[in-house]
Amino acid sequence: MATTHDPAEDDAAHHKAMLAKAETLTEALPYLQRYAGKTFVVKYGGHAMGDPDLAQDFAEDIVLLKAVGINPVVVHGGGPQIGRMLKALGIESKFVDGLRVTDKQTAEVAEMVLAGAINKELVSWIARAGGKAIGISGKDGGMVIARKVEAKKAPKAINDAESGETIVVDLGFVGEPARIDTTVIDTITGANMIPVIAPIGVGEDGETYNINADTMAGAIAAALGAARLFLLTDVPGVLDKERRLLTDLTPADITRLAEDGTISGGMIPKLETCVHAVEAGCEAAVVLDGRVPHAMLIEIFTARGAGTLIRA
Ligand SMILES: Nc1ncnc2c1ncn2[C@@H]1O[C@H](COP(=O)(O)OP(=O)(O)O)[C@@H](O)[C@H]1O
Ligand SMILES: CC(=O)N[C@@H](CCC(=O)OP(=O)(O)O)C(=O)O
């Protein structure tokens, strides 16, 4: 049986859909005006990279930011990927307070995976989305001079089970940025390309240092005086005890949330990084859900936003 079809109805539906698209763009207008010419540092974690759809969405978002006149600077992680490579080589991964205990061989593997495989994979994703990226590590152009992170007290999980004593662990070649020279970033951005940075630095001693990717991104955001530091993770943002999203936090709020145990685990160093960044020159930091497609665009270009905004 033939179905009837009213072309006028089609037109109305089409018109409505087009109008919704136009409204999305006009809603974005004030944000486009506000952010043109500004620098956004985006930390993309190793967990989010496993999913090719998310990686493609992420690359599209970065290319879109560039196309509307924002300067995105990507800093990536790759903890799970380093772990897999170490395992394949028969080396066990050990973490103390969220930092990988890094002997000489582990530092070599970390550099190979981060500055080699992952860095170039991200450059390729951005190229596929129509952007031009340059992949570098903190070593390039003398960008990040690292200092050794001092020995840490091991947490309960790896306390000496027999004696019950807390063990002090030398983290080896784990670094934090001591000095940052942004010349190489400015040069890449100035050439209208997107810097993609692996969290590896070089020490005054000439050694290679493995740097936590959140820490690296925060230090770079501060050095650049970035308008935003985005930390993409695997939760909707910072949650309260009832697991409701906290949309705005100050450094004082964060101290309180750490003291009353609302935040724990990996969220503590992540928020410490945000606090350090906003107190050292970055305008605001945002913790947001890297599992949500285009979370960054929603946060930047809509009134509602997404994630948790941290401001000094
Ligand atoms: N209050 C909180 N709100 C949200 N996440 C929290 C909170 N407290 C602890 N977390 C933990 O922090 C984790 C994010 O930190 P982390 O695992 O280091 O992220 P990533 O690997 O993406 O850098 C979350 O998966 C969650 O388990
Ligand atoms: C010192 C230290 O722990 N370095 C991290 C660097 C990678 C990283 O931070 O990756 P994610 O953001 O994916 O966790 C590591 O070796 O795993």
Q: What are the boundaries of each domain within the chain?
A: 36-310
With the most atoms of ligand 1 within 8 angstroms of its CB, the residue from 75, 81, 95, 233 to mutate is: 233
Check residue 268 and give its pLDDT.
87
pLDDT-based confidence at 79, cuts 50/70/90? very high
Q: Is 78 left (phi over 0), alpha (psi -120 to 50) or beta?
A: left
Mean pLDDT is lowest, of 75-79, 158-162, 299-303, for: 158-162
Q: What is the pTM of this model?
A: 0.92
CB distance 229 to ligand 1 below 6 Å? no
Q: What is the ipTM of this complex?
A: 0.96
CB distance 267 to ligand 1 below 6 Å? yes
CB distance 100 to ligand 2 below 6 Å? yes
pLDDT at residue 1 greater than cutoff 70: no
By percentage, how much of the chain surpasses pLDDT 70? 95
190 C-alpha to center of ligand 1: Å?
35
pLDDT at residue 155 greater than cutoff 80: no
Check residue 302 and give its pLDDT.
85
pLDDT tens digits for 223-266? 999 999 999 998 999 999 999 999 999 999 999 999 999 998 88
Check residue 272 and give its pLDDT.
94
Q: Topology of 36-310 in CATH?
A: Carbamate kinase (3.40.1160)
Mark the binding-site residues for substrate, compressed into ranges. Answer: 78-79, 100, 210
φ, ψ dihedrals at 172, nearest 5°: 75, -130
Q: Whose C-alpha lies nearest to ligand 1, atom 7?
A: 263
Can you tell me which atom of ligand 1 is nearest the CA of 233? 22
CB distance 190 to ligand 1 below 6 Å? no
pLDDT tens digits for 33-73? 999 999 999 999 888 788 889 999 999 999 999 999 999 99
Q: Whose C-alpha lies nearest to ligand 1, atom 1?
A: 263
105-113: average pLDDT? 98
Beta bridge partners, 200, equal: 210
Check residue 165 and give its pLDDT.
72
pLDDT tens digits for 279-302? 999 999 999 999 999 999 989 998
Mean pLDDT is lowest, of 20-24, 44-48, 90-94, 241-245, for: 44-48
pLDDT tens digits for 136-147? 999 999 999 999
Can you tell me which atom of ligand 1 is nearest the CA of 236? 4
Check residue 189 and give its pLDDT.
97
